[in-house]
Amino acid sequence: MTDETTHAVAFTPEDLPTARSFFLPHRIVMMLVFAAFVVAVAVFMRWDWLPRYLPRLGWGILVSLVMLFSTAILGFLLAVPIGLVQVTGPWFLKLPAKAFCTVIRGTPLLLQLWLLYYGLGSLFPQFPAIRQSFLWPYLREAWPYGVAALTISFAAYEGEVMRGAFGGVPHGELEAAKAYGMGRWTMFRRIWLPRAIHRALPTLNGETVLQLKSTPLVATVTVVDVYAVISKVRQETFLTYEPLLLLALIYMCLTGILVVAFRTFENRIPTRGA
């Protein structure tokens, strides 16, 4: 597996259309056709269930976003040491980090999630020490397992990215820092980490978009995110297409917003030349 997992896969800022590109004759025709399609969908399909479920859908979107950002932040905090020890660490840290990345990246996220939820979830109640601990009220819920699985997965993919980023920081910059008399920690904090993050930023953003696409998996372990709300709608209204189309639209909007936000964020970081 190469580091550039997300290069072609993730939706990146380059894929966004520009405002001017819409005013081409064939695009105007296509947009009219699309508009007619949207109107047909709105008129001929059943949407009367929508107002009833709107508040729940809002909560679901919120849960999905909380899942996304909490696991992305936690995962990134884990990924920095995982990437770092693979570049400079001693073998007894390097080896487990490498094994962690390989194992997590080599197995499906759904399986990891179910392993944590059903496997560990069935194991924990057998230990009285855990049942009596303060953690037990949380461990009986589903969301900690969802957060754990998503965090671990993000950390593994990011750890690999950060390994490449740490290794790719030019050696001269680190030598210059040493020549200035910086200690190891200062050098890491001021030079190595910021430069590595800068290098990895496009990939990190791509991974975050991919992470958004992984969040609906937590619905399979009874976390009520937007996907679970839509599943509920489908069960209660016996509709097949309408809820799924809405769900696809919601995720497209979320991806679009995320990508636009990342682009403004990336543009604010000064770069020199090309």
255: which 2 tokens? 């991806």
Q: Which residues contact 73 (CB under 8 A, 6 or more apart)?
A: none
Tokens matching residue 46: 């059943």
Q: How far from each other are the two terminal CA atoms of the chain, in whole angstroms?
A: 28
Helix axes 226-237, 241-268, angle to 10 degrees: 170
CB of 107 to another protein, least distance (A): 4
What is the DSSP secondary-structure string of 18-44? Answer: PSGGG-SHHHHHHHHHHHHHHHHHHHH
Tokens at residue 161, please? 């990215």
- For another protein, the closer of residues 58 and 119 by Cβ is 119
Least separation, in Å, of the C-beta of 49 and another protein? 17
Element (H, E) at 170: none
Q: Which of 18, 20, 23, 26 forms a contact with another protein (CB under 8 A)? A: 26
Q: How far apart are CA 109 and CA 67, in angstroms?
A: 15
Amino acid letter for position 3: D
Per CB under 8 A, the segment of 45-53, 107-115, 157-165, 169-177 that binds another protein is: 107-115
CB of 178 to another protein, least distance (A): 26
CB of 224 to another protein, least distance (A): 15
Residues 211 to 250 in contact with another protein, rule: CB under 8 A: 212-217, 220, 227, 240-241, 244-245, 247-248
SS3 assignment, position 125: helix
Q: Which of residues 109-168 bind another protein (CB under 8 A)?
A: 109-112, 114-115, 118-123, 126
Q: Which is nearer to another protein, 118 or 136 (CB)?
A: 118
Q: Taking CB under 8 A as the rule, does residue 18 contact another protein?
A: no
Give ∠ CA 133-134-135 in degrees, rounded to 5: 90
CB of 20 to another protein, least distance (A): 15
Residue number, 13 or 81, with CB nearest to another protein? 13
Token pair of 57, please? 């859908």
Interface with another protein by CB under 8 A: which residues? 1-2, 4-5, 7-11, 15, 24, 26-27, 30, 102-103, 105-112, 114-115, 118-123, 126, 212-217, 220, 227, 240-241, 244-245, 247-248, 251-252, 255-256
